[in-house]
Structures are given as structure tokens and as C-alpha cells.
Structure 1
Amino acid sequence: MLTGISQNIIGCETCGLAQSTLPIQLHYKCTRCGSSMHIRKPNSIERTWALVIASYVLIIPANLMPVMATGSLFGTEKDTIFGGVLFLWDSGSQILAIILFTASILIPFSKLFSLTFLLISVQQRSTWKPRVRAKLYRMVETIGRWSMIDIYVATMLTALVQFGNLMSIRAGTGAIAFATVVVLTIFAAKSFDPRLIWDVVDSPENNKEISKE
């Protein structure tokens, strides 16, 4: 299987232009847009691991601490993400509960597990289905921003529902942790270099295995 690096070709991450890496240099500039280019993103694995580990640490308080606190004459009620899912389900809004569960719980955990799998497979120089892993990376990068639905709801309600001492809604400490997790996973997906998946397939014996997929 032919890869860009085996053919001395590099793609610009800004404009997408594929161009030759000859003559060999320490730094490359895109001939079309002038952006800096790298054969591989510098310290991609290390930076991605750092962001993923930080996300694992913060995702625990993000799910255990309240994301929204509702104050009224009857007291203050604090809701976690999962508590909001259960409330919507019990109140008859099953579709909204499924959407909230998918966007705020399933997607963030799936992104973290997927990035962890990709990092380990690259470090182990795995030849297992590079096309599947490349598609998995593109999916992770695409769906990342949709995890913010819970934060959008809390932000809008905080801005709209303020009735003095009668009722108020404010974002909880869990919302800060959750928003940080979403941002960190987005940065982690951006810092991971998917071209590392294909580096191991340059050898002839690995090319034969992959061509059978």
C-alpha cells in the first residue's frame, strides 16, 4: 500500500495541497498558502496522552457533581447529568432523555475510549485494520462538539430564567468540569496525528496483510 511518506509527499493541514518533501528539510512551508507543515505532528502521542489523561480525571466530577442548580421559594435543587436524564425519562420525555444521554454521557466516554484505543494501537505499531481506525478517528473528530448540548442548555437557562428571589438557575460546578472535558477531548483529537496509523504499513509484509482486508 502506498503512503504519502513513502512517496515523499506531504499534505498541508491548512489548505490540503499535497506536495513533495524533496529536497529534505527540517521545516516545510506550503507552496500555496505559506503555512508551516510537518511530516508528522510534533510530539503528537505525548500531547494527546496528556489531554486524554486530564479528561479522564475531570470526567469523574463532571458526572458526579451538579451541572445546574435551580433555586426557588421551595428550596434549591441540584441536578447532575444523569439526574437530568432520569428526570426527563420519568416525566415522559424519553426522546429528550435519550438525546441528553447520548450527547452528554455516551459520546464523551466513547471519544475517550476511542482515543485511548488509537493511541495504544499506534504505540504498539499495530497493523490491525488501519482503514477502520482511520474512520474511527474521523468520527471522533466530527462528533466531538455535539457533547456540549448540556452546557448550552444550562447557559441559556441561566441567562433567561432569573426572577429575583422567586426563581433562579445557575450553572453548577459539574458544568465547568464537563465543559473542560469536552474542550480537552476536542484538542486531543486535533493533536492526534492519524497519519501515524499508516506508518507501520510501509513494510512489504504488512502491505500484503492490509491488502487482504
Structure 2
Amino acid sequence: MNKPLITGMSAIQQDRQLCRVCEKHSSITENEQCCPYCGSPISPRIKNSQQKTWALLFTAFIFIFPANLYPITYLLKNGTRYPDTIFSGIVSLLSSGMSGIAFIVFIASIVVPILKIVALAFISLAIHFKWQFNPNKQLIAFTLVDWIGRWSVLDLFVISIMVAVFDKGNFLSVYPGIAATSFTVVVITTLFAAQSFDTRLIWDANTDAR
């Protein structure tokens, strides 16, 4: 029976677990492997959630440096190669009077990826050490950063904008640099880190610390 949960107690304390497919809850002890309603695999919490999140965050942390320090594009014009990093592209946009686009590029390509790594790392540390922070605020912060972080793929648009800044001649070719690959890794790993993170652990940490 899908009985209502008691407010003020975690689902585990009430011997309940939620199916992530049909969103119905059932007994942990009676239905350990599969949801009795839809037959999908079920567990009280995402298995190895913290380990997966930390592994992905650590990978993103490593690749965030080459993504910002190395050229994201190379422009070859008249036999001369012009490397362009994310930051130099922002400077080029500013010098061209495109301050609005430069601001969007700065937020999407630099601020958001770093903010997402820091926010997820902070929440994960709070869970691990059972720091007593408001769980509702932690969830709001996670939801906000997760939603904004999905727009980091705008960096593909950034590359085209940076190319458009240059005066194109008859002999011009553009190809991606090592930072383009590194930034792609950062975007993908942070997206998967957010997907593997089980937000219910926020409440577990606060409940266990009492």
C-alpha cells in the first residue's frame, strides 16, 4: 500500500523508498530490488552517489585549468596562426564594443563551470562532515546551479562569436585547440556529477547529526 509519509521523518526511518520511474514509494524490507508498481530497479538511495560525484568533480577540477589557460581556437590567416583563449576572446568582444555578448560569454564559460564545481563540492563536504546547514537552502543552491550549469554548452556558440570578431580574409581557417576538448570534458563531467548526486543525502546528513 502506498501509504502517506510522516512529516519530520526521513523515508528510510519509515521503511519507505521512492521509485525514480513511477515516483511511488514502497517498503524497503519487502521490496528490496524492484518497485512493486512498475517493476523498475529501486533502492533507498542512489548507490555510490558520493563516490561518483567526487570522481566526476575531481576530473572537472583538473580539466578546468587547461580549459581556461590554453587556446580554445586557432585562427590561421595568411600563413600566420593566432591562438585565442576564452579570456582573450572576451577581451576581443569588449574591444569590439560587444560588451553584452562578452558578459554572457564570461558567465557561461568561466563563472558557471567554476561555481558549479565549488557548489557541488561544498554540498558534498557538508554531507560528508555532517555540517549543520539549512537543507532547504542547500537544495535550492543545488537546483539553481544545476539548471544554470546546463547552459555551459553555450561555449560552442562562444567559439563562433570569437571567430566572427576577426577580419576574415581570403586565406582563413579556424580549428579548435586543446581548451575546447578540456572545456567539453568539464561540461560533461559536471553535468553527470549533478545527475549522480542524490539530494536526499542532504537530509540524511542533517538527521544523522542530531
- Using the size of structure 1 for normalisation, the TM-score is 0.84
Deviates more, 1:89-98 or 1:144-153: 144-153
| Two-structure CA RMSD over aligned residues (Å) | 2.4
Q: Which residue of 1 aligns with 2:202?
A: 197
1:46 equivalent among 51, 55, 78: 51
Q: Which residue of 1 aligns with 2:11?
A: 4
CA deviation map 1:71-96 (0-9, x unaligned): 11162211101111111112111100
Between the aligned partners of 2:184 and 2:104, the Cα distance in structure 1 is 17
1:35-184 equivalence runs, <5 A = 35-73=40-78, 75-154=80-159, 166-184=171-189
Structure 1 contact 134–194 (Cα < 8 Å) conserved:
yes
Between the aligned partners of 2:42 and 2:32, the Cα distance in structure 1 is 10
Between the aligned partners of 1:82 and 1:29, the Cα distance in structure 2 is 50
AA matched with 2:49: S
Structure 2 contact 17–26 (Cα < 8 Å) conserved:
yes
Between the aligned partners of 1:45 and 1:95, the Cα distance in structure 2 is 38
Identify if the C-alpha distance between structure 1 residues 46 and 23 changes in structure 2 by more than 3 Å, giving closer, same or farther.
closer
Aligned length: 199
Structure 1 contact 30–36 (Cα < 8 Å) conserved:
no
Deviates more, 1:84-93 or 1:95-104: 84-93
Q: How far does residue 60 in structure 1 lie from its aligned partner after superposition?
A: 0.4
Q: Gaps (5+ residues) in structure 1?
A: 207-213
Q: How far does residue 157 in structure 1 lie from its aligned partner after superposition?
A: 8.7
Between the aligned partners of 1:36 and 1:141, the Cα distance in structure 2 is 25
Between the aligned partners of 1:14 and 1:93, the Cα distance in structure 2 is 45
